[in-house]
Amino acid sequence: MADMTSLLSEHGSASHPAVVRTFAEDQTVQRRRSGLRRTDRLVPAGLVHAAGRDTERALCGLLLDSLHEFGRSRYPFERFSQDTRCRTCDEAAGLRSA
What does the pLDDT look like over 16-69, one tens digit per residue?
Answer: 667 889 999 999 999 998 888 999 999 999 999 999 999 999 999 999 999 999
Question: Cβ distance 74 to 80 under 8 Å?
Answer: no
Q: What is the DSSP string of 3-51?
A: -HHHHTSTT--SSS----EEEEEEEEEEEEEETTEEEEEEEEEEEEEEE
Q: How many CA atoms lie within 13 Å of 64's alpha carbon, on the beta-carbon side?
A: 16
CA–CA separation, 51 vs 39, rounded Å? 29
The DSSP bridge partners found for residue 41 are 30
Q: Give the burial class of 59: count Cβ atoms within 10 A of its Cβ; 0-12 exposed, 13-18 middle, 19 or more buried.
A: buried
> How confident is residue 98, by pLDDT bands cut at 50, 70 and 90?
low
Predicted structure pTM score: 0.77
